[in-house]
């Protein structure tokens, strides 16, 4: 995928002092007192560059707290006046954009539930024409890279050049450790398409629980992300939304102190060793592909045998055994279970495709 967008580097529209961008604040602006107290505490800690707040909350089901709406926007203005920090909020409709800009919100983000719908994204893009404001776009709730890319094309098509990506993970079809599966490979692929667009990690929405925030934050930094957007509340246990994944401002500061921020540049000796190790990886990848090719040759023979004996391609009992046994093998080799599962899903689908082709061929 080759996509060119007219974008400005992060350093040209916000000064982070060479550090990763930190966007912090409560999931929702609930009351003026709650928001201002949280904002003041975040500013006092000194780690944040932008304050965040949920003003409009797209909830899965009606009846839950859906945000204060427009009345919360003056609170963001006041927080900016008191702390000197710029503010940001999520927008999902052209009316949200109009109101956020009216009250001087400095940066906007497009949420995961909006990114998934091209019609909604286009409506937002149309409302942003002629506006000079940073816009962050979260990945869609489902793991669809094309939807994420398309959202950037639409917003950039409106003339927005200050763009950032927020990786918040993807919805789980089944129970898992994290609230949203990170699927890091999708974010890495996005970065390969748009190397100049800053990648912001959202460990809060990946984790769903504050106990997992540090490990996900460290992983994002290990992958050289450009920043983080993290939820922080003065009293998380009393938060009106997403209580389990928020930290107090001081707890967030302590967590960030424990994160090891990696260097992007390195010396000549390091470069030589890096190239040597990358050479080893290249050789191993070649061997890996050769093994997969050998496996597919056996799969083709299996397809011929099934065809000649009029046996269906898909054998669920066999697939279940493969799924379980490979998971155990991977565990014994200290591999991530999620990685092994995704790998063998791909291999299994390729095996099904190969056998189906063979089944439709006439015997020699």
- Domains of the chain (ranges, CATH numbers): 10-257 (3.20.20.70), 268-359 (1.20.59.10)
Measured CA to CA, the distance from residue 337 to residue 150 in angstroms comes to 31
For 115, half-sphere exposure in the C-beta direction (CA atoms, 13 angstrom radius) is: 30
Owner of token pair 């890996």: 288
Instruction: Please enumerate in sequence order all residues whose Cβ is within 8 A of that of 77, keeping only pairs 6 or more positions apart, or say none.
Output: 87, 103, 104
Contact status, residue 27 vs residue 54, Cβ threshold 8 Å: yes
Backbone angles phi, psi at 278, to 5 degrees: -65, -35
Measured CA to CA, the distance from residue 114 to residue 108 in angstroms comes to 13
What b/e string do you get for 226-256 counting C-beta neighbours within 10 Å, with b at 16 or more?
bbbbbbbbbebeebbbbeebbbbbeebbebb
C-alpha distances in Å from residue 28, one per residue of 139, 178, 202, 222, 282 = 20, 21, 15, 29, 47
Measured CA to CA, the distance from residue 140 to residue 256 in angstroms comes to 27
List the structure tokens of 56. Answer: 């409009």
The reported pLDDT for the residue numbered 235 is 97
Owner of token pair 């409106």: 158
Measured CA to CA, the distance from residue 81 to residue 223 in angstroms comes to 35
The continuous run of DSSP H or E covering 354 comes out as helix 337-359
Note down pLDDT in tens along the chain; length 364 residues. Answer: 667 899 999 999 999 999 999 999 999 999 999 999 999 999 999 999 999 999 997 766 677 787 899 999 999 999 999 999 999 999 999 999 999 999 999 999 999 999 999 999 999 999 999 999 999 999 999 999 999 999 999 999 999 999 999 999 999 776 678 999 999 989 999 999 999 999 999 999 999 999 999 999 999 999 999 999 999 999 999 999 999 999 999 999 999 999 998 776 656 676 788 888 888 888 889 889 989 999 999 999 998 988 888 888 888 888 888 888 988 998 898 888 888 888 988 998 999 999 899 888 877 6
Helix axes 268-308, 337-359, angle to 10 degrees: 40
The reported pLDDT for the residue numbered 14 is 95
CA neighbor of 355 nearest in space, from 307, 290, 309, 291: 307
Measured CA to CA, the distance from residue 243 to residue 253 in angstroms comes to 18
Measured CA to CA, the distance from residue 42 to residue 36 in angstroms comes to 10
Backbone angles phi, psi at 240, to 5 degrees: -80, -10
Report how far Cα 64 is from the mean position of its chain's Cα atoms.
Answer: 25
Measured CA to CA, the distance from residue 95 to residue 28 in angstroms comes to 19
Helix-strand-coil split of the chain, %, nearest 5: 55, 10, 35
Measured CA to CA, the distance from residue 264 to residue 111 in angstroms comes to 29
Instruction: Please enumerate in sequence order all residues whose Cβ is within 8 A of that of 86, keeping only pairs 6 or more positions apart, or say none.
Output: 14, 49, 50, 51, 80, 106, 107
Return the DSSP state at 104: T
The reported pLDDT for the residue numbered 60 is 66
């Amino acid at each position: 995928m080759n996509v060119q967008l007219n974008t400005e580097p992060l350093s040209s529209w916000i000064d982070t002092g060479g550090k990763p961008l930190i966007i912090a604040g409560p999931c929702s602006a609930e009351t003026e007192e709650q928001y201002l107290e949280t904002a003041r505490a975040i500013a006092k800690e000194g780690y944040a560059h932008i304050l965040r707040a949920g003003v409009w909350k797209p909830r899965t089901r009606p009846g839950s707290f859906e945000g204060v709406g427009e009345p919360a926007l003056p609170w963001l203005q006041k927080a900016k006046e008191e702390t000197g920090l710029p503010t940001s909020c999520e927008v999902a409709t052209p009316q949200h954009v109009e109101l956020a800009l009216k009250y001087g919100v400095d940066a906007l983000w497009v949420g995961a539930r909006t990114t998934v719908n091209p019609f909604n994204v286009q409506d937002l893009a149309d409302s942003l024409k002629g506006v000079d404001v940073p816009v962050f776009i979260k990945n869609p709730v489902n793991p669809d890279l094309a939807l994420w890319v398309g959202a950037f094309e639409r917003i950039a098509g409106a003339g927005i050049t200050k763009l950032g990506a927020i990786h918040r993970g993807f919805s789980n079809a089944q129970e898992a450790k994290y609230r949203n599966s990170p699927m890091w490979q999708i974010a890495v692929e996005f970065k390969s398409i748009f190397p100049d667009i800053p990648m912001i990690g959202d460990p809060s929405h990946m984790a769903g629980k504050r106990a997992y925030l540090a490990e996900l934050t460290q992983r994002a930094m290990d992958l050289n992300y450009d920043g983080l957007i993290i939820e922080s509340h003065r009293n998380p246990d009393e938060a009106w939304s997403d209580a389990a994944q928020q930290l107090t401002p001081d707890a967030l500061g302590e967590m960030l102190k424990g994160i090891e921020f990696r260097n992007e540049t390195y010396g000549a000796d390091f470069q030589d060793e890096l190239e040597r190790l990358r050479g080893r990886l290249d050789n191993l990848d070649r061997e890996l592909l050769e093994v997969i090719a050998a496996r597919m040759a056996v799969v083709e023979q299996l397809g011929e045998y099934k065809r000649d004996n009029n046996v269906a391609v898909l054998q669920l009992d066999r697939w279940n055994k493969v799924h379980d046994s490979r998971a155990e093998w991977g565990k014994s080799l200290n591999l991530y279970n999620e990685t092994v599962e995704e790998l063998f899903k791909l291999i299994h689908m390729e095996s099904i495709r190969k056998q189906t082709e063979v089944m439709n061929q006439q015997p020699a």
